[in-house]
Amino acid sequence: MTVAAKICGLNDAAAVAAAVENGAAFVGFVFYPPSPRNVSPEKAAELAADIPKTVQKVGLFVDPVDELIRNVLDAVSLDWIQLHGSETPERVRDIKQTFNLPVMKAIKIDSAASIATASSYEGVADMLLFDAKEPKAMKNALPGGNGLAFDWKLLANTKIKSPWMLAGGLKSENIAEAVRVSGAHIVDTSSGVEFQPGCKDPAAIEAFLMATRAIETQKTG
């Protein structure tokens, strides 16, 4: 079993280098000003300049207007658009058609019922991303990157046919268990490799990706 990893919320050169050099399959840039991980299109272009084509670049947006996406794409070439807000299946389809890029759609999970909502995005989004739903009582909660995990058993034996990615509270210490319980083949982390919100730790990125590769060894060895 091969487990691919995405490091999201990158905003400095050292973090990008750590992700690329240690085998990340995807790197993510956040275009959402309330987030401490937000980058300008120009900064993203600077960071992306030396990323090899073998690593897929993802732009994260939250309920974006077309103008924002267009401004970003004018500055930096992306391989994926990630939608992390309340975008409807119709809006996802519209963004795909307008910008001719594959789309990841985040689904907020807190129960089996919330997983069922993913079915409406199948055949529309190219990949689903399951993330923990932020509690209503959580102060200053973001649409993602809150460092929260959900019950991974909810994804075990899921009937979802679309490719999907596991996110939410993942770090080097729990990634093996998360993959074992959920059955995920692709994983995503952001806050799990930071020393404070918005500040990536290259050593933690390396440790997370090493832990992910170790899962491959365990599965195939």
Residues with a catalytic annotation lie at 8, 131
Residue 19 to residue 22: CA distance in whole angstroms:
5
Which tokens sit at 180?
Answer: 């074992």
H-assigned helices in the chain? 13-21, 41-48, 66-75, 89-99, 112-116, 175-182, 202-220
Question: Between helices 13-21 and 202-220, what is the axis angle to 10°?
Answer: 10
How far apart (Å, rounded) are the C-alpha atoms in residues 38 and 31?
5
Distances (CA, A) of 187 to 21, 47, 169, 170, 192: 17, 22, 11, 8, 12
Give residue 63's Cα distance to chain centre.
16
